[in-house]
């Protein structure tokens, strides 16, 4: 379907009388959960009427919490050194074709400064698991950004660490942490990672982060090599248990220097169905429409928003490093700079009836907590 047709269809949508799986979607809308079988039917369904009704219901939930606001996250890919060897990832340790780089604190601050000028109020520091930055280095980077931009939030996405390290980063001012669980089905996790990287440790990290008080993001790739729909449903149930504040979920895309170079990429349709289901399961979760989705479809990010997502993460990394942070082939925006990406995203969201806001975009649960704390302080002070 052409892009404009897709958008018009979503905007003018009126549910028809005969929608296959309508009962399942209504039940998910009301109760936030479904049986394994019902979820499988929904994931399998290629019926356009089912997908459109799912997105329609997902947008109702999205607008109840977020109206037509879209939160911006400025992604700063500050290092592509990585001690991990995830089999799907372009910057895995054993890929000798990567030109490695790491950015200095000054360079990182410059990216944040540019982002702040363009309305970004969240900076996501993402990198491979690069141990050349000590905990103190990370803390200094975080606290410098928080000091310079007190109205902005810092999200870390630097992989598996000890609870003590996570606590130090938190104390330095990092309030959010992204660590996709990648695959909650143990066999699939083992297949996608070397033996030294375990699902148990990944999950331990996520629970540690939660217990420290971070806003936590988990998530998985869709159509990862060997992933079945049942594996995906295991991810849904894992997420229901974890109750993260964010869920990062995009299609797998092969990278030429990995053993999965000839595997098929995830489809736009499956990705959108998953986003719709996630919005109904987690009405208040922060759900990005990912760069990977924008890579497999030029209008993927818009479609993701119309299927229930509410966050976009344009790149703030300097142009000269972008091509070196290739997790998968053909990644978009590697020729653009931060200013172009920010402007582009504003326009894209406006074109589909949403508005990018200059806001930290905290998880609603945290906003409620912060308000409670403030009013308790007022009462104590009175
Ligand atoms: N395709 C899509 N996403 C990928 N990631 C890593 N490699 C790929 C790939 N080939 C995702 C992982 C990781 C996030 C930063 O990028 O889910 O957590
Ligand atoms: Fe980068 Fe559109 S978001 S150019």
In the prediction, which pLDDT does 10 show?
Answer: 76
C-alpha span between 21 and 37 (Å, rounded): 12
In the prediction, which pLDDT does 375 show?
Answer: 82
- Which atom of ligand 1 is least distant from the CA of 220? 17
C-alpha span between 47 and 19 (Å, rounded): 9
* CA 1 to ligand 1 center in whole angstroms: 27
The best mutation among 344, 347, 352, 356 to test binding of ligand 2, ranked by most ligand atoms within 8 Å of the C-beta, falls on 344
Q: 218 in ligand 1 pocket by Cβ < 6 Å?
A: no
In the prediction, which pLDDT does 30 show?
Answer: 98
Report the chain's mean pLDDT, rounded to a whole number.
95
286-308 residue pLDDT tens: 999 999 999 999 999 999 999 99
The encoded tokens of residue 199 equal 């699902």
| pLDDT above 70 (res 1) | no
| pLDDT above 70 (res 2) | no
Which of 91, 58, 175, 171 has its CA nearest to residue 125? 175
Please tell me the CATH code under which domain 67-378 is placed.
3.20.20.70
Q: Picking from 104-108, 188-192, 239-243, 343-347, which range would have the lowest pLDDT averaged per residue?
A: 343-347
Higher pLDDT, 74 or 1: 74
C-alpha span between 22 and 24 (Å, rounded): 5
In the prediction, which pLDDT does 339 show?
Answer: 87
For 246-258, what is the mean pLDDT? 98
C-alpha span between 291 and 312 (Å, rounded): 8
Which of the four pLDDT bands, split at 50, 70 and 90, describes residue 278? very high
* CA 271 to ligand 2 center in whole angstroms: 20
How many Cβ atoms from other residues are within 10 Å of residue 99's Cβ?
Answer: 8
Q: Are 323 and 90 in contact (CB under 8 A)?
A: no
In the prediction, which pLDDT does 337 show?
Answer: 84
Beta bridge partners of 334: none
* CA 75 to ligand 2 center in whole angstroms: 12
| pLDDT above 80 (res 179) | yes
Residues written for the chain: 382
pTM reported for the whole predicted model: 0.95
Which of 197, 199, 201 has its CA nearest to residue 220? 199
Which of the four pLDDT bands, split at 50, 70 and 90, describes residue 324? very high
For 163-173, what is the mean pLDDT? 98
- Report which DSSP code applies to 20: T
Q: 85 in ligand 2 pocket by Cβ < 6 Å?
A: no
How many Cβ atoms from other residues are within 10 Å of residue 13's Cβ?
Answer: 14
* CA 40 to ligand 2 center in whole angstroms: 34
Q: Whose CA is nearest to atom 3 of ligand 2?
A: 341
- Ranges of H-type helices in the chain: 3-11, 22-31, 36-44, 48-66, 105-117, 135-148, 163-171, 186-192, 199-212, 229-242, 268-281, 291-296, 300-306, 319-322, 338-351, 364-381
Which of 335, 277, 275 has its CA nearest to residue 302? 275
Q: 334 in ligand 2 pocket by Cβ < 6 Å?
A: no
In the prediction, which pLDDT does 3 show?
Answer: 64
Which of the four pLDDT bands, split at 50, 70 and 90, describes residue 382? low
Using DSSP, state whether 164 is helix, strand or coil: helix
Kindly identify the ligand whose nearest atom is closest to the C-alpha of 217.
1
Kindly identify the ligand whose nearest atom is closest to the C-alpha of 289.
2
Residue 46, CA distances (Å) to 20, 244, 247 in order: 10, 29, 24
347-356 residue pLDDT tens: 999 999 999 9
In the prediction, which pLDDT does 374 show?
Answer: 78
The best mutation among 75, 295, 332 to test binding of ligand 2, ranked by most ligand atoms within 8 Å of the C-beta, falls on 332
The encoded tokens of residue 217 equal 């993001």
For 311-336, what is the mean pLDDT? 93
C-alpha span between 98 and 91 (Å, rounded): 7
Q: Are 315 and 75 in contact (CB under 8 A)?
A: yes
C-alpha span between 215 and 370 (Å, rounded): 13
Which of the four pLDDT bands, split at 50, 70 and 90, describes residue 9? confident
C-alpha span between 264 and 12 (Å, rounded): 33
Kindly identify the ligand whose nearest atom is closest to the C-alpha of 314.
2
Q: Are 129 and 82 in contact (CB under 8 A)?
A: yes
Q: Picking from 7-21, 86-100, 198-212, which range would have the lowest pLDDT averaged per residue?
A: 7-21
Q: Which residue has the tokens 């964010």?
A: 246
Q: Which residues, other chains included, contact 54 with Cβ-Cβ below 8 Å and sequence gap of 6+?
A: 25, 42, 273, 276, 277, 280, 307
C-alpha span between 253 and 204 (Å, rounded): 27
* CA 30 to ligand 2 center in whole angstroms: 36
| pLDDT above 80 (res 5) | no
The encoded tokens of residue 197 equal 């990287």
Higher pLDDT, 374 or 255: 255
In the prediction, which pLDDT does 258 show?
Answer: 98
252: left (phi > 0), else alpha (psi -120 to 50), else beta?
A: beta
Q: Whose CA is nearest to atom 7 of ligand 1?
A: 89
Q: 340 in ligand 2 pocket by Cβ < 6 Å?
A: yes
For 332-349, what is the mean pLDDT? 90
Kindly identify the ligand whose nearest atom is closest to the C-alpha of 271.
1
For 74-96, what is the mean pLDDT? 98
Q: Where are the domains of the chain?
A: 3-61, 67-378
Higher pLDDT, 333 or 208: 208
What would the 3-class secondary structure string for 231-253 be?
Answer: HHHHHHHHHHHHCCCEEEEEECC
- Sort 191 into a burial class: Cβ within 10 Å, 0-12 / 13-18 / 19+: middle
Q: 72 in ligand 2 pocket by Cβ < 6 Å?
A: no
């Amino acid at each position: 379907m052409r892009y404009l047709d897709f958008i018009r269809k979503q905007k003018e949508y009126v549910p028809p009388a005969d929608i296959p799986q309508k009962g399942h979607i209504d039940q998910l809308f009301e109760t936030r959960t479904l049986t394994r079988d019902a979820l499988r039917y929904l994931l399998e369904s290629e019926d356009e009427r089912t997908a459109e009704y799912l997105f329609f219901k997902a947008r109702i939930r999205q607008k109840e919490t977020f109206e037509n606001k879209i939160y911006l996250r400025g992604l700063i890919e500050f290092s592509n050194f990585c001690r991990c060897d995830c089999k799907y990832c372009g910057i895995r340790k054993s890929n000798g074709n990567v030109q490695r780089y790491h950015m200095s604190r000054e360079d990182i601050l410059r990216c944040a400064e540019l982002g702040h000028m363009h309305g970004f109020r969240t900076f996501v520091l993402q990198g491979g698991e690069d141990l050349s930055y000590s905990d103190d280095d990370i803390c200094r980077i975080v606290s410098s950004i928080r000091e310079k931009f007190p109205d902005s939030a810092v999200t870390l996405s630097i992989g598996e660490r000890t609870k003590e390290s996570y606590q130090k980063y938190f104390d330095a001012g990092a309030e959010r942490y992204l660590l996709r669980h990648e695959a909650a089905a143990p066999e699939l996790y083992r297949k996608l990672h070397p033996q030294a990287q375990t699902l148990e440790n990944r999950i331990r990290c996520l629970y540690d982060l939660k217990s420290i008080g971070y806003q936590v993001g988990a998530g998985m790739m869709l159509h990862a090599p060997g992933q079945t729909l049942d594996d995906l449903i295991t991810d849904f149930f894992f997420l229901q248990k974890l109750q993260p504040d964010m869920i990062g979920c995009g299609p797998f895309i092969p990278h030429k220097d990995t053993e999965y170079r000839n595997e098929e990429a995830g489809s736009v349709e499956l990705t959108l169905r998953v986003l719709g289901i996630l919005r109904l399961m987690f009405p208040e979760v922060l759900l990005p429409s990912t760069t990977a989705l924008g890579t497999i479809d030029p209008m993927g990010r818009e479609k993701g928003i119309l299927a229930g997502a509410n966050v976009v993460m344009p790149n703030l990394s300097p142009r000269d490093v972008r091509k070196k942070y290739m997790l998968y082939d053909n990644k978009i925006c590697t020729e653009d700079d931060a200013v172009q990406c920010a402007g582009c995203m504003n326009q894209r969201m406006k074109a589909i009836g949403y508005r990018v806001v200059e806001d930290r975009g905290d998880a609603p649960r945290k906003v409620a907590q912060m308000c409670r704390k403030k009013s308790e302080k007022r009462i104590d002070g009175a």
